Amino acid sequence: MKSFKHFKIGFFLASRQIKNANLWVNILIVFIMTVTFLNLVFISGLLEGLVTGASNDSREHYSRDLIITPDENKINIKNTTRLEKEIESIPQIKNYSIRYLQASQIEADYSLFSRPNIEGNNTSGILTGVDFEKENQVTTLEDFIVEGEYVHENPQNKILIGSGLLAEYDSAIEGGSLEGVVVGDKVKITASGTPQEYTVSGILKAKLNQINNRVFIDKQQFISLTGRAPQLSDEIAITLLNPQELEETRNILSSSVKSSEAKIETWRESQGQFFEDLSTTFTILGAVIGAIGLAVASVTLFIVIFINAISRERYIGILKGIGVDSSIIKYSYVFQSIFYALIGSAIGLFLLYIFLVPYFDENPIDFPFSDGILDVTVTGVILRVLILFVSSVAAGFIPSHLIVKKNTIDSILGR
């Protein structure tokens, strides 16, 4: 009862002090708190967003919700036709794309009948046989065409080539990429020892190696070139109608997948430990940077409250002099800090969700391996508001505690 009364009086004093404080001082403190909050959320959100962006890309444009790949120590997925029928019979599955992969040599400026020349204008890439329409439905591959056009019809002798195989787009691999190849050029692809001439219909550029380092070709053309049996595929990417039904769908498919000497993984499993490690690292990095920001902000708030308390030392002394309990005075400063922290957080939340998140969703930062979005979760935001809240309580309590401890009459007389 007594504590509650002290809270109430502390709140009353805090409200009067804030109300009658200099407007610009109030604005400055709220601004500091807003910037601190954004710093806490923004830096870590951006770092986590880098990984999330890469992970999202991999899910949206490569693995989709579930991906079937050959089992450990197996080369291909067997019984693809039977597996395909099974996939088609499952109502939870929205669409799928079967891929055939083969290492290949791609050569420009060639003689059709000569063997690939390692000194010439050539490179190696993964020849990927797909049904262009299905692949586009599943991974929106067409979105990554930067030159030329997607293969919608008459796929004979047409390829889409990843930008990672072209020197013009990927200068990092010196001497390892095709030089001067543009849309409409013919290139020679050698797979399983057989060469064949194809025309570059389009160039694909993404933030995924599974697109950049591949040459996409019609499935029938692939089979024709490599002599691969249609039953032996390499990847089946599956999109679900409801992405929440990952496990259920996997369970339905598991026996067929097993009999095809393959394994079925969720999008997250297929990304492997690397993404998780990267995510953890960036989370730690974000937390460290955020903690530094928080420390700076806490010290700033501490200084602001301390200066406020020092400048009001006489009034603190007067309050003590007329018998106001020290705890009430401390509460009043803590409430002031909390007020500034909450207002700062509220403005920060407004800026975050109304401006920053939509902005970065629309205009991701162009990082080499992903499109950096601002990855903020509700839990993360609440956590950061709480962190700011706790540090504000400390920043309000410590200075007022130090002042309140001083001799009453010395405070009143300013000694």
Partner 1 sequence: MKNKKTILIAKNITKTYITGSVETKVLRGIDLEINEGEFVAITGRSGSGKSTLLYVLSLLDRPTSGEILFESCDTKTFSEKMDSYCRLHHFGFVFQDYALLPELTALENVTIPMMVQKDNWDDINDMGEKVLEQVGLKEKLKNYPSQLSGGEKQRVAVARAVVNNPKVLFADEPTANLDSKRSDEIIGLIAGLRKKGLTIVLVTHEKKYLQKTDRVIEISDGIIKKT
Instruction: Please report, as ranges, the residues that interact with partner 1 according to CB under 8 A.
Output: 1, 5, 8-9, 12, 16-17, 19-21, 314-315, 318-326, 328, 407-409, 412
Report the nearest approach of partner 1 to the CB of residue 14 (Å).
10
Q: Which residues of 280-291 are buried (b: 16+ CB within 10 A; e: fewer)?
A: eebbeebeebbe
Report the nearest approach of partner 1 to the CB of residue 409 (Å).
4
26 vs 231, which CB is nearer to partner 1?
A: 26
Report the nearest approach of partner 1 to the CB of residue 400 (Å).
15
Say if CB 340 and CB 301 are below 8 A apart. Answer: yes
5 vs 74, which CB is nearer to partner 1?
A: 5
Report the nearest approach of partner 1 to the CB of residue 336 (Å).
12
Report the nearest approach of partner 1 to the CB of residue 17 (Å).
5
182 vs 409, which CB is nearer to partner 1?
A: 409
Report the nearest approach of partner 1 to the CB of residue 396 (Å).
17
315 vs 367, which CB is nearer to partner 1?
A: 315
346 vs 412, which CB is nearer to partner 1?
A: 412
318 vs 351, which CB is nearer to partner 1?
A: 318
16 vs 74, which CB is nearer to partner 1?
A: 16
Report the nearest approach of partner 1 to the CB of residue 328 (Å).
7
Report the nearest approach of partner 1 to the CB of residue 375 (Å).
43
120 vs 321, which CB is nearer to partner 1?
A: 321
Report the nearest approach of partner 1 to the CB of residue 321 (Å).
6
106 vs 328, which CB is nearer to partner 1?
A: 328
- What CA–CA distance (Å, rounded) separates 285 from 49? 13
